[in-house]
Chains A and B, each alone.
Chain A
């Protein structure tokens, strides 16, 4: 494609919907730079006051774990049920714990 060279870079958009909550990934968009990405994100992803804060990260800077290696990657946590409170057998009389 002749025009692909000039295509604006892709940005991943994260929005904090309310003060006190985490920024959450909502999608992506194209923009020439970070400032314009924020302005575009306002128009594309917060038309109904869905956000109080916007983060934009150029997509090429996102590094992801490989889904094919998920088994090995998460294996260390697999056999550690004792990390969960429900693992422990305690009498019903025990309150406030």
Chain B
């Protein structure tokens, strides 16, 4: 053989041929994907908590049904992604174990509290908006099962963002207190959303390899700029503002300039010192432990059903 496995692999990537679970792949590619996909799955699952907090207090039945459907979608996204990661040879229980022990990370954004109903609007618009910006290019990711899962996810995300914007739009047309509530939510969620794109390109060492392997297609800063450009326009429709005095259209660049990001805060939250890190992880662990009897009962019931069927067949 003239070409070694690694060259054949890279050649497939360069020709846009998807990699499937049983194909040969570099160990580092496998590990990178397991880490990225499982972190993404954890983010969807932990991401249910901040919004779950408002389901019982939604202002009306319409909003409540919508929020329930959105949170249920996020559970689905987590499940699609866990099953994509499992094709790489890690078990579901191992992934849960990594989440619960704090070894695996999830998106830092979910370590911020949801203080008012307007936060449901800001999360849908900004947090789901940033997620969509990140996720659309992942639909063309080089690993087949990941790309296919992302296609499903992206199809479902679009209503998440629209319902959020609608909440803010409604509040922005409401009383003075409602407008203030909407502005306050945007003020709190804007910067953490901008941080969702991850560290600056020159401080994101794994990015280059991920781009070469086409796991990622755009750099963190490219996506972040795109997000800022879009939101800076959309916020005008709300008649509200983004909390950044340096936000200004730059004719020359054809982009919005924006202020400095507080990276110290970003790393603090990543390292576990955000406002809700302990609460979020605690809630996930409790759900896992409290659910133990359900997992056991389902096994016992399956066993019973199997026995009954074999008796009937005899």
Contacts and interface: CB of A to CB of B under 8 A. Distances in A.
A28 B85 CA distance: 11
A64 interface: yes
A45 B24 CA distance: 29
Contact of B93 (A1, A26, A35): A1
Interface in B268-314: 295-296, 298-299, 301-302, 305-306
B97 interface: yes
B20 interface: yes
A33 B302 contact: yes
Nearest to A7: B93
Nearest to B145: A27
B299 A6 contact: yes
Interface residues of B, number: 31
Interface string B132-170: 000000000000010011001000100000000000000
A36 B301 CA distance: 10
Interface residues of A, number: 26
Chain A contact residues, majority secondary structure? mixed
Nearest to B294: A32
Contact of A32 (B22, B24, B301): B301
Given A8-B298, A67-B22, A33 B92 contact: no
B91 A47 contact: no
Interface in A8-55: 8, 10, 26-33, 35-36, 43-45, 47-48
B229 interface: no
Contacts of B298: 8, 31-32, 36
Given A8-B295, A8-B299, A67-B22, A30 B76 contact: no
A86 interface: no
B305 A1 contact: no
Contacts of A30: 92
Contact of B22 (A6, A7, A66): A66
A29 B299 contact: no
B79 A29 contact: yes
B8 to A, nearest CB: 10
Given A6-B295, A28-B86, A33 B305 contact: yes
A3 interface: yes
Contacts of B23: 67
B184 interface: no
A94 interface: no
B187 interface: no
A78 interface: no
Contacts of A32: 298-299, 301-302
Interface of B: 20, 22-24, 69, 72-73, 76, 79-80, 83-84, 86, 91-94, 97, 145, 148-149, 152, 156, 295-296, 298-299, 301-302, 305-306
Interchain residue pairs A-B with the least CB separation, the first 6: A33-B302, A32-B302, A32-B298, A28-B83, A4-B93, A3-B93
Interface of A: 1, 3-4, 6-8, 10, 26-33, 35-36, 43-45, 47-48, 64, 66-68
14 contacts: A6-B299, A8-B299, A26-B152, A27-B80, A27-B84, A27-B149, A28-B86, A32-B298, A33-B302, A33-B305, A35-B305, A45-B76, A47-B69, A48-B156
